[in-house]
Amino acid sequence: MSYKPQNNRAWLGVLPVLLIVAFSAVVPLMTVINYSVQDILDFNTRFFVGFEWYVQTLNDERFIEAFGRQLAFSFTVLALEIPLGIAVARGIPKNSRLTPLILIVLALPLLIPWNVVGTIWQIFARSDIGLLGVAINAMGISYNYTSEPLHAWLTLVAMDVWHWTSLVALLAFAGLTAIPQPYYQAAELDGASSWQVLRYVELPRLRGVLIIAVLLRLMDSFMIYTEPFVLTGGGPGNTTTFLSQYLATMAVGQFDLGPAAAFSVIYFLFILLFCWLFYQSVVKRDEETP
């Protein structure tokens, strides 16, 4: 017996969304793909070059290095922000008069524009006048993020963790408040430790919000541009130049629209692949869980 949906008219309700997505995503993506196979001299003078820009990009050392840095950065901040966000969310009292205040304070970094976050950290981490930079140097540790690649990386990671852990914490807190109290009471009766409550009661029920948190942070960190641009400008040298910054230099700085379009398509395909693989792995594990 074949299954047929009850009411296909419901699909008409999706039409407005399809139109918006077509205009905001599909048509621009198609245009970028069109650009990626042409040498654009100006908007009226262009030549078909086939896959030339793809070959050039895939063999470009700076692209490969920026890609490696991007992966390292994204997975580092994910590895820090997700556990830290869960830990912070677990520490927020659920039914206290202080709860709204804590949530507002946590949301503050999320309200600051990205370029302002970069500027705050640029000043905060300076070794001559910044509180963080001066404090670290006063402890006898030589720290200068403008000349030392490792220091620049640590500062960037710290800045991102400061900026975005709140998002994970707020999402995780929303998930935690949705867990019914009897689960905790049953765990308490069984003498479960705090770790066991986290492992067997909270984490399985946080899966939904954590999927959203990881996907948002993975995509966001993979597209990061403004903060490193303001904080380090991609330096020292190219050590903190990520994909988006290299792409912007190519497209806006040098007006190499063809190579920049090929770069964008490759960049997009990798983001699509990572998100799809991650989503599938989580959904699969979700289905396997009894």
Partner 1 sequence: MSWMAWTLPTAIFFGAIGFSLLVLTLWELKSPTILRKGLLPIATTRGDRFFISLLSAAFIHLLWLGLVDAPVYPATAVSVLVAAGLLKWG
Interface ranges with partner 1 (CB under 8 A): 2-5, 27, 30-31, 33-35, 37-38, 40, 43, 46, 48, 50-51, 54-55, 58-59, 266, 269, 272-273, 276, 280, 284, 287
Q: Give the nearer residue to partner 1 in terms of CB position, either 254 or 280.
A: 280
Between 165 and 264, name the residue whose CB sits nearer to partner 1: 264
Cα 74 to Cα 81, 120, 180: the distances in Å are 10, 21, 34
| Minimal distance, residue 22 CB to partner 1, in Å | 12
Name the minimum Å distance from CB 280 to partner 1.
Answer: 6
Beta bridge partners of 45: 42
Considering only CA atoms, which of 252, 259, 270 is closest in space to residue 32?
Answer: 259
Nearer to partner 1, 143 or 263 (CB): 263
To partner 1, the closest distance from the beta carbon of 265 in angstroms equals 9
In the complex, least distance from residue 100 CB atom to partner 1, rounded to whole angstroms: 42
Each residue of 199-217: b (16+ CB within 10 Å) or e?
A: eebbeeebeebbbebbeeb
CB of 58 to partner 1, least distance (A): 4
Enter the tokens of residue 62.
Answer: 């700076």
For the bound state, the minimum distance from the C-beta of residue 276 to partner 1, rounded and expressed in Å, comes to: 7
Q: How many C-beta neighbours within 10 Å does residue 120 have? A: 19
Please work out, in degrees rounded to the nearest 5, the angle formed at the alpha carbon of residue 116 by the alpha carbons of 110 and 120. 100
Nearer to partner 1, 199 or 285 (CB): 285
Question: Which pair of tokens denotes residue 17?
Answer: 């969304």
Beta carbon nearer to partner 1, 2 or 193: 2
State how far Cα 261 lies from the chain centre: 22
37 or 197: CB nearest partner 1: 37
Burial of 17 (C-beta count, 10 Å sphere; 0-12/13-18/19+) = exposed
Bridge partners of 42? 45
